[in-house]
Structure 1
Amino acid sequence: MSNVYIRSQNREKLYQLGGNYATLEYVEYMKKGAEERHTIRIGNGCTEEIAEYESKERCIEVLDEIEKVCSSYLYAAGSMGLIRGSTPTPPMATDIPRVYQMPER
């Protein structure tokens, strides 16, 4: 996997997944006397909250979207070189720059 850049929900930070950060995870917790919180955290040893959503299911949906972005690439079918004077080109696939903006709640 090449690098995917993830922008925090509040748009104040840009993280490089695959560079400095190795994991994304769902974390559910309750603060004393507060409501249950559903968050997504990024980290490499220590974690940092990058988004909060209303439910575990929504967090999992967002993680699924990020997974889809991580696996995307640019594909060109190539050509057979049928036009006079043209050179055949083989098919190719390459990584493209990828940025994922964490959606609002």
Structure 2
Amino acid sequence: MMTRHFKNGPSLGYLKSREGKILLTIMVFFVIEVNTFAYIEKLAIFDAIYFTIVTLGTVGYGDIHPTSTLGRIITSLFIVVNIMILAFFVEQIGERLIKQKIEEVLGI
């Protein structure tokens, strides 16, 4: 249940936490990436969403791929940036879980 992670139940206060800010950053980058791919590669919006998910999920089916040099460069940059953001997000979650476990063990 989600309420156990919030002292006063679920709220928008989560977006003030580090994890919330990182999650919001990921969503903003996703929207930027989709629109960038749609514009540069002349993709329909749903194709751009599909391409972004497949690329960032490292699946890479190859059915849709960047055809321009600029598209390839931007795709490469977006992959690197998203890996860094995702790694930071996972690190923050791990830090929070460890902190909660320490507090639980120490009775704080």
TM (norm. structure 2) is 0.28
- Report the structure, 1 or 2, having the larger strand content: 1
- Report the structure, 1 or 2, having the larger helix content: 2
Higher relative contact order (CA 8 A, sep 6+): 1
TM (norm. structure 1) is 0.29
